[in-house]
Chains A and B, each alone.
Chain A
């Protein structure tokens, strides 16, 4: 397997505040990789640095191409779908229009993608005319994910997908992500507070602390690590 995404010494800042102090990580094609860490460690910023929604420096390569000079729209067109934390839905637009926006970078018909998404989330099809703003928080989360699937990305960036979701929906969501990963080789980089879930789904992970990579390894290694167990798994 080849490396799909590579970050080398990436720094990012919000105004005067340094959020990342040289993060390096690699994501193999077809892998699910988790990013763990306490609040404020720079997990979200790492995803934002990749998708270009924060000012960053350092080297980011995606499928052999440098990303660090590109804006978010250009990164999206290369096949990176970023589902931001909370609700990334367009609440003023209908469910259908949200899904169509997912296919914005694609030429030609998005019908096969839509059908696939409707097979995962049948209720989306029934409610396609509804304004996305009238969906519940969990439904909006699902819609954001469905929109990313219509995008058919090579790399999916998921930020706290479990946030505010009922446990049964979280399990469902991770099941779908794993299924897409196994069936279609979708590569996923997921930021998740729930380390149990994340390490179950992911093959490898990185632990960020204060804007740096503190620890990395396979899921099995991380699960066995004492500090990870104490800090994130709670036993």
Chain B
């Protein structure tokens, strides 16, 4: 009897399975990279500064990458509007602050609004189209990209907006290295939100229902899971992660404009693909590669322990963040204008060489 392959892309999965044995080397690679970074940080202050900055930016890419991965896993749709959605919710936060809310009040109110927005978009726009064709739904997200861009420009105008930094302007001096509080702050906020999402998926009944609905909608309905609700909640959660990414990206750019998330979306795609679109864990790792050894080994452990967790997207984001920052500084041929093409090159390279990404899960099926 032939294997019952449930994947809509069996050839891709099998190709990944053939390469799947490299998971331990990937974690070794991450640890080695982290060690290299540590040495670099100890030897050069500029290197250390760039690394910390890169980690913070990488965390932002990672959380947007995670949003992409959540949507992709739940509905098999790549949401090109994810970055614009994040940008729009950042404007919402700006507006709330203008109306007199404190930063953190606006932060949490924005997350709630983002959740509702993501859910409504799935129910009202994506679902009706997706029932006919998945590619149709992807095209809808491209349309949404343009629509959101237009609406934001129309409502708030194209000129720069300024938002207070939630972390103040304090600068830490560690050894000879100066680090703005902004960067560890960004990193902490993003990682906490990622961990919360991971815990939701891992430890709650709702999370179990969402994973089941993403993997096997028909069987999930048979055990009483409301599949439609789960998919909508998945979009809502993705929008929340995107909002966190947008809010944390804003202070690092120092102003808010409608194109805020466009380069970040490219990096997030690179991170998501690097980590493996199918594995939320992979996307996180993509961004995180150049992180402190402890964290990397924690990630390596997570990888070895089985990656049905949102870690991959974040690591993907961190790898991208740090490597972008360092490449621009140390490779003379690549200036800062070439950052996005560099991320894109990583994306294409991964798709060509290892389509399942660093953390694409090896599919084990018995016949």
Q: Which residues of A contact B (CB under 8 A)?
A: 51, 53, 71-73, 76-77, 81-82, 84, 86-93, 97, 100-102, 104-105, 131, 133-137, 147, 151, 164
B212–A101 CB distance below 8 A: yes
Kindly list chain B residues whose C-beta atoms are within 8 Å of the C-beta of A92.
Answer: 211, 215-216, 308
Question: Judging by beta carbons under 8 Å apart, are B366 and A104 in contact?
Answer: no
- Report A76 CB to chain B, min CB distance, Å: 4
The interface residues of chain B lying within 8 Å CB-to-CB of A93 are 208, 211-212, 215, 308
B219 on the A face (CB < 8 A): yes
Cβ A72 vs Cβ B308 within 8 A: no
Shortest distance from the beta carbon of B72 to any chain A beta carbon, whole Å: 15
Partner of A91, one of B1, B225, B226, B365: B365
Q: Closest A-chain residue to B308, C-beta based?
A: A92
Is B18 an interface residue when CB atoms closer than 8 A count as contact? Answer: no
Contact call A105/B224, Cβ cutoff below 8 A: yes
The verdict on A100 contacting B364 (CB below 8 Å), with A53-B222, A90-B216, A93-B212 known, is no
Task: Decide yes or no: A104 and B365 within 8 Å by CB, A90-B212, A92-B308, A97-B208 being known contacts.
Answer: no
B132 at the interface (CB under 8 A from A): no
In the complex the two chains form, is B222's CB within 8 Å of A102's CB?
Answer: no
**Known A90-B212, A97-B208, A101-B208: A136·B222 in contact at CB below 8 Å:** no
Question: In the complex, A86→B225 CA distance in Å?
Answer: 20
A-side contacts of B211, CB under 8 Å: 92-93, 97
Nearest B residue to A105, CB-CB: B224
**Chain A residues, Cβ within 8 Å of B124:** none
- Give chain B nearest CB distance to A69 CB in angstroms: 15
Contact of B2 with A by CB under 8 A: no
Partner of B224, one of A76, A91, A137: A76
- Which chain B residues border A88 with CB–CB below 8 Å? 219, 222
- Specify which of A84, A86, A105 is in contact with B4 (CB 8 Å cutoff): A86
A90 contacts B219, C-beta separation under 8 Å: yes
Among candidates B215, B216, B224, B308, residue contacting A73 with C-beta atoms closer than 8 Å: B224
Interface residues of B in 169-225 (CB under 8 A from A): 205, 208-209, 211-212, 215-216, 218-225
The residue among B209, B215, B216, B219 with the most chain A CB atoms within 10 A of its own CB is: B219
Cα A53 to Cα B366 with chains together (Å): 26
Contact: B4 with A73, CB < 8 Å?
A: no
Q: Is the CB–CB distance between B223 and A101 below 8 Å?
A: yes
Cβ-defined contact, A100 with B205, below 8 A: yes
Look across to chain A and name the residue whose beta carbon is closest to the beta carbon of B6: A91
Contacts of B208 in A (CB 8 A): 93, 97, 100-101, 104
Known A-B contacts A87-B4, A100-B205, A101-B208; the reply to A76 vs B222 at CB < 8 A is yes
10 extra interface residue pairs, beta carbon distance < 8 Å, beyond A100-B208, A104-B223 = A73-B224, A73-B227, A76-B222, A76-B223, A84-B222, A90-B216, A91-B6, A97-B211, A131-B364, A133-B365
Expressed in whole angstroms, the minimum distance between the Cβ of B131 and any Cβ of chain A is 14
Set of chain B residues within 8 Å of A137, measured between Cβ atoms: 366-367
Q: Can you give 8 A-B contacts (C-beta < 8 A)? A: A72-B218, A72-B221, A76-B224, A90-B219, A90-B220, A92-B215, A97-B211, A133-B363
- Nearest-neighbour CB distance to chain A for B69, whole angstroms, equals 15
Q: Contact check, A90 vs B215: say whether CB atoms are below 8 A apart.
A: yes
A72 touches B222 (CB 8 A): yes
In the assembled complex, the CB of A224 is this many whole angstroms from the nearest CB of chain B, namely 36
Q: Nearest chain A CB to B141's CB is how many angstroms away?
A: 25
Closest Cβ of chain B to A201, distance in Å, is 22
**Judging by beta carbons under 8 Å apart, are A151 and B223 in contact?**
yes
A-B CB proximity, top 8 nearest: A76-B224, A105-B224, A72-B221, A92-B215, A73-B221, A77-B224, A101-B223, A104-B224
Bound CA span A76–B205, Å = 16
**Binary contact track B289-308/A, C-beta < 8 Å → 1, others 0:** 00000000000000000101
Asked whether A134 lies within 8 Å of B364 as measured between CB atoms, the reply is yes
Bound state CA distance, A164 and B2, in angstroms? 13
In the bound complex, CA of A72 to CA of B306 (Å): 31
Chain B 1-13, CB-CB to A under 8 Å as 1, else 0, gives 1001010000000
> How far apart sit A162 and B308, CA to CA, in the bound complex (Å)?
32
Would B209 and A53 count as touching, CB distance under 8 A? no
Bound complex: CA of A134 vs CA of B6, how far in Å?
14
Partner of A105, one of B215, B216, B223, B364: B223
In angstroms, Cα B196 to Cα A78, docked, is 32
Residue numbers in B under 8 Å from A136 (CB-CB): 366
| B70: min CB distance to chain A, Å | 15
Complexed CA–CA distance, A81 and B222 (Å):
7
Residue of B nearest to A79 (CB): B224
CB of A133 within 8 A of CB of B364, answer yes
In contact, A51 and B222 (Cβ under 8 angstroms): yes
CB distance from B145 to the nearest CB of A (A): 31
Cα distance A235–B129 in the bound complex, in angstroms: 55
For the complex formed, measure the closest distance between the CB of A218 and the CB atoms of chain B, giving whole angstroms.
Answer: 30
**B215 & A147 in contact (Cβ 8 Å cutoff):** no
Q: Give every chain A residue within 8 A of B223 (Cβ-Cβ).
A: 76, 81, 101-102, 104-105, 147, 151
